[in-house]
A and B are shown apart, each in its own frame.
Chain A
Amino acid sequence: EIVLTQSPATLSLSPGGRATLSCRASQSVNTYLAWYQQKPGQAPRLLIYDAFNRATGIPDRFSASGSGTDFTLTISSLEPEDSAVYYCQQRNDWPHAWTFGQGTKVEIK
């Protein structure tokens, strides 16, 4: 199974700043990578699909790039509401298993 490694584990930033989150796959997932945001007590919310496409209703402060094994999620002009845990997920090649990264916690103070 493909292992996704996210870094850093935690980011503490100020409002108005920029967050850069990394997701590295143990083997190529092409561009079959999604990013999710999860706040306490809530279901994960899709931000990005297929490596760089923003989901409906997601502000353009959220952008993503990458292909193969290295991916990045960037959140610019950070707002307090962006405090959450962010997960990447690969969906390469059904019926092979899909997997999540372990998450990056973003704190906005």
Chain B
Amino acid sequence: QVQLVQSGAVLKRPGSSVKVSCEASGDTFMKYAISWVRQAPGQGLEWMGGIVPIYESENYARRFQGRVTITADRSTNTAYMILNNLKSGDTAVYYCSSGFYFGGRGTLVTVSS
């Protein structure tokens, strides 16, 4: 089973951007889709998008298209999620997953002025 390590919690201002990283151990990084899923406080899981590193094939949920970019650095087994034009409603825990498996406790992104 792959191990995923995400970057730490951040506080961002409205209108700014956030970049969250997800480093994968093991040799499965290339093979499986890396997804980004977020969970606002007290809410359910929301799939944002993903990438299959070996094909560099991206896939985004409609509501995030144009505002999120997901990339994968094959040299470091690290995936990134960049979310632009942050709003208070983007305050959430952001998880990455490789295949079906989620990493750790996620990354808390707080958007506040």
Q: A-side interface residues toward B, CB under 8 Å?
A: 1, 34, 36, 38, 41-46, 49, 55-56, 85, 87, 89, 94-103
Kindly state whether residue B8 has any CB partner on chain A within 8 Å: no
The B contact surface, by secondary structure, is strand
Contact B45 A97 (CB under 8 A): no
Report the minimal beta-carbon distance from B26 to chain A, rounded to whole angstroms: 15
Chain A, residue nearest B102 (CB): A43
- Residues in A with CB closer than 8 Å to B60 are 97
- Residues in A with CB closer than 8 Å to B33 are 94
In whole angstroms, what is the CA distance A36 to B97 when docked? 12
Across chains A and B, the number of contacting residue pairs, with CB separation under 8 Å, is: 57
- Residues in A with CB closer than 8 Å to B49 are 97
Contact B104 A43 (CB under 8 A): yes
In whole angstroms, what is the CA distance A45 to B59 when docked? 22
- Residues 1 to 19 of chain B near chain A (Cβ within 8 Å): 1
Which 7 pairs of residues, A with B, have the shortest CB-CB distance? A95-B59, A43-B102, A46-B100, A100-B45, A103-B44, A97-B61, A98-B47
The A contact surface, by secondary structure, is loop
- Residues in A with CB closer than 8 Å to B102 are 43-45
Contact A43 B103 (CB under 8 A): yes
**Residue from B1, B61, B95 in contact with A99 in the complex, judged by beta carbons closer than 8 Å:** B61
Contact B105 A98 (CB under 8 A): no
- Residues in A with CB closer than 8 Å to B35 are 98
Report the minimal beta-carbon distance from A1 to chain B, rounded to whole angstroms: 6
Also in contact, A43 and B105, with CB within 8 A (given A95-B59, A98-B50): yes
- Residues in A with CB closer than 8 Å to B90 are none
Chain B, residue nearest A90 (CB): B47
**Residue from A56, A87, A101, A103 in contact with B1 in the complex, judged by beta carbons closer than 8 Å:** A56
Contact B59 A94 (CB under 8 A): yes
Q: Which among A38, A85, A95, A99 has the greatest number of chain B C-beta atoms within 10 A?
A: A95
Report the minimal beta-carbon distance from A6 to chain B, rounded to whole angstroms: 9
Report the minimal beta-carbon distance from A95 to chain B, rounded to whole angstroms: 4
Contact B52 A87 (CB under 8 A): no
